[in-house]
Copies of this chain bind each other. A is one copy, B any other.
């Protein structure tokens, strides 16, 4: 009598899929007035609120201009006096100027800036992306074959950053928390993803150009249409603007039918050809393949790494000594066959996920190390603040948990740990916020869900999802596989519990219902406590009740002698339950892209004739920790450089020697562009200089010490400030740029 609950709420973007499925559109139309980065010349909060009145003012002014235009024409037709006509024209011009001014204000309001904001965001991104691509941080994959949309390679510095980020993730989460790391294949048989719901629900709505067959994401087209209309067409009414904004805000919730209706209503056509579009229909986003040679075993490239952990729960629980809580973790590739990838590294068809599944007793979600994060304070954006149109604000984590804004300690603990992880990587804490999911964003089974969102030139990007998914995933796999994925709490001494016992009397039921006996027995046994006790009372008072048997589709009469219902006391030695899972899920590529933007800046060259690019990566993630330059081309200096290089290798410090004859300034600029934090310049055989990238300050250190000084700072044992205090300063202009 148990019904399968719908596995996934109808919105593709809800719950578990959000980290890998959401275009971050839903929020781009919401007020975003938290702390702003230096390159965003954004409006004060009041501005956005005035958009509606500006639209009204503009419409009024437009009517006035038209009316005055008609008046001028009428005066001319009536051959009125020149001064009269001139005065009317002057009034018209003045109205036109006023209209133009309102237009400008409105333009600024809808683009969320003073008009230059969007432009400077674009320019900043272009500068960063140019440097990233030129220095091979990333490369469009298969470039010589003109590439494939949504696939990117990490080139040498990008690959080094990625491997540093992953190493730190392992240190910060797996090692410090004693997590059980696993490594499962990407190729996954259908049954697993059927159980998880991906085969049926992991879809985006697609429309096709009816003539060319080109495919588009339906919500993208509608979103682009609304945004374009709102930003470029200033003539639309305030009501129309409100309607378009409502569409944008509810985009993720629209059914295929509703989306199709809007596309028809707005007359949206294929962007490239203007051809008509098909109705929207779901396209499954998993890459499908076939396992083995028979063609009979469909498989998919996993869309997330989490399922590999869930199916191993039983073994991992045993490995952990049958104790809760424990966390398992996995780093690996995940795949998503996007309909039309865009936004560079942010929306790709293959990406690295790092996921944690923390299994916990649903009755005790405390965390032993919670006290270590309780005093952290950072930008949080709870559900209520979003609903009231407020902005994210600084909240002490302990307060958010104690007030119940964050559902439980364990969830709070992970939010805190994620904050520490991201900021230690070099993410700007003022452009990082934790946004709680709205009720309609969450899957029905989720207890609470927070996204770590990082602001970059594309807006606020969801980079980490931290969800309390309750017992959903383990139950789904238990049901499908028939293997119980449960935990047990052993009682220190047996507990007496009252248990309901329903005992159908088969002989009587057989006589009464013959062939239908089995259905009736099953229906009786499936009663819950309330139903059973009601029946017991009714049978005792009336001797017979009508009972609905759903597998028969009708009521049957049940007599007192057909079933015995009682409550019995039993001794239980343990409590068996399905653990809840709290899942922090990291989109590594998105974090890295945001890190690139947060680390990038330009500064003028010494001559002031050009802008030089710098990545201010902390040593932890810098792709190369140190460069070694002989000041001039000279065998002695080169030999010293080689000695230092050897000590750096022994110390495990990634570095590069540059013995080209290029000027030292150019060589510094080259390595600043790769975000190398330290440069050792060899200008004698005894002492060398060490230069720090951002301050451009230099100290003098002996050849023997050089590698160790760099190692101590990159390992975090001391800071550059400590070094600056301890060693003699170097101030030769020639050695700087």
Contacts and interface: CB of A to CB of B under 8 A. Distances in A.
Nearest to A656: B178
Interface in A169-192: 170-171, 175-176, 178, 180-189, 191-192
Contacts of A311: 142-145
Given A148-B291, A287-B289, A308 B182 contact: no
B183 A350 contact: no
Contacts of A155: 180, 182, 312, 315-316, 319
Nearest to A480: B145
Contact of A294 (B143, B160, B192, B213): B213
A163 to B, nearest CB: 7
A349 B187 contact: yes
A164 to B, nearest CB: 11
A185 B333 CA distance: 9
A736 interface: no
Contact of A292 (B180, B192, B321, B339): B339
A213 B295 CA distance: 11
Interface string A136-170: 10010111110011011111101110110001001
A421 interface: no
A38 interface: no
A6 interface: no
In this complex, the member of A160, A182, A350 whose beta carbon has the largest number of chain B beta carbons within 10 angstroms is A182
Contacts of A171: 652
A616 interface: no
Nearest to A483: B144
Interface residues of A, number: 80
Given A192-B145, A291-B148, A333-B333, A301 B187 contact: yes
Contact of A188 (B142, B158, B162, B312): B142
A349 B136 contact: no
Interface string A280-303: 000100011111111001010100
Contacts of A480: 145
A143 B315 contact: yes
A188 B188 CA distance: 18
A141 B185 contact: yes
A660 interface: yes
Interface in A191-247: 191-192, 206, 213-215
Nearest to A307: B142
A192 B339 CA distance: 22
A347 interface: no
B183 A291 contact: no
A567 B649 CA distance: 53
A477 interface: yes
A114 to B, nearest CB: 39
Contacts of A349: 185, 187, 291
Given A145-B192, A350-B186, A290 B288 contact: yes
In this complex, the member of A148, A160, A213 whose beta carbon has the largest number of chain B beta carbons within 10 angstroms is A148
A359 interface: no
A337 interface: yes
A333 B153 contact: no
Contacts of A175: 649, 652, 654
Shortest beta-carbon contacts, A-B, top 4: A154-B183, A144-B481, A215-B293, A156-B180
6 contacts: A136-B315, A142-B191, A149-B292, A154-B183, A175-B652, A214-B294
